[in-house]
Amino acid sequence: MNFKEDKIAKIIRANKRLSREASRIEGIFRSIKEGIILTDAGGDILYANAAAKNILGFAEDGQILTLSKILPQIDSVELRLVCGGTASQREFEIAYPEHRFIKVFMTPVDGEKEEAAIIISDLTNERISARDKIESEKIASVLKLASGVAHELGNPINSISIHLQLALKTIAKMEQSPNLSRLKESVEICSKEVSRLDGIIKHFLKALRPARPDFAEINPLAPLAETLKFLQNELQDLNIKIEINTENSLPSILGDTNLLKQLYFNLIKNAMEAMDLGGIIKIGTSFDDNFVKISISDNGCGIDQDEITRIFEPYFTTKTDGHGLGMMIASEIVKSHGGSIGIDSRKDEGTTIMLSFPRKDKRIREIMAE
């Protein structure tokens, strides 16, 4: 073997060693539960392990991903300080792809290039027990208060309805005249509005105190199709289009059809109210070995980042005339099905709601283990 061949052989062996080391390191990064992201000073993501993609809900699709898109809480100034040599540690509450508490440790990477390593730890399980207890007590008190208010409204509404019926009977016995006809018409309108208000209160009470879920094997899109059919005329009046991109054969789940229709109604109505005339609501699905996932997206006004983690809190609303219970009820319905709900939103761009339901077999195993 001459000198040139010997040099080439050494280079090949060195490349093989480097390849083995790279594979070993990649294997370690894949196996650890912490998310790891490598980014440059401009925020372009150079590497992300599987845990980071799972925690933050993104996938590499051939395009350059930026840190500002998946972790908007970290601004460019802080990132440049880290790349310049200043380590940083913070804790965030995120809502997409599902509600999580995370700790982010950022440290500069030694080398000629300005790069930062970001280590992401999921603190959700540590926080959730205490948080759930607080939220459960808070929700219980809210529901008790709301239920009491609804009952208090029910009594005077019932009294008004009785007196309106008596007024109609009295009018029927009186001598007919144009003024009397107008009075009768006004009383009939009032009677209809009172009946409508009574129906709203009954529906509200039913929503606040839902019956025990009646689970059955269903296609999770079936209640959504019924909801869209119910809202069809309203969607047409607002010139809102529905774009559906779903898997051909979606796995079944254990679900309560009526509760899921209420869930979808709340989410679709929120999307409609967030858009001007002529908006688009996109519905997509996916699934893996354990979960069926449904996304509902709109191109409406979006939600501020500092408000997004509070969106499922009782009485919190971004609407001027909202009551702040719709998303809380939606969250409770999803939890009752063993699933999770997440939200991703950008101001003036739109909002995406991600629903994740366990597949039927997985849910059966969970119920049997409880």
Tens-level pLDDT at each residue, the chain (370 residues): 555 666 666 677 767 777 777 677 777 777 788 899 999 988 999 888 888 888 888 876 656 788 888 888 888 888 888 888 888 888 888 877 777 889 999 999 876 678 899 999 988 877 766 666 666 666 666 666 666 666 666 667 777 777 777 777 787 777 677 777 777 787 787 877 777 677 666 656 665 555 567 888 999 999 999 999 988 988 998 899 999 988 778 899 999 998 899 899 989 998 998 887 789 999 999 998 889 999 999 998 888 877 887 787 766 676 666 566 778 888 888 988 989 998 888 888 899 999 999 999 888 888 777 6
Distance (Å, rounded) from C-alpha 180 to C-alpha 186? 10
Domains of the chain and CATH, by start: 32-122 (3.30.450.20), 127-208 (1.10.287.130), 216-369 (3.30.565.10)
The alpha carbon torsion through 259, 231, 98, 367 (nearest 10 deg) reads 20
pLDDT in the model for residue 4:
60
Q: How many CB atoms lie within 10 A of CB 369?
A: 6
Q: Which runs of consecutive H residues, i.e. helices, occur in the chain?
A: 3-31, 50-56, 67-70, 76-83, 124-173, 178-208, 221-230, 232-237, 257-273, 305-308, 326-336, 360-369
Which of 156, 57, 164, 46 shows the shortest CA–CA distance to 102? 57
Global pTM value: 0.56
pLDDT in the model for residue 264:
94
pLDDT in the model for residue 124:
81
pLDDT in the model for residue 353:
92
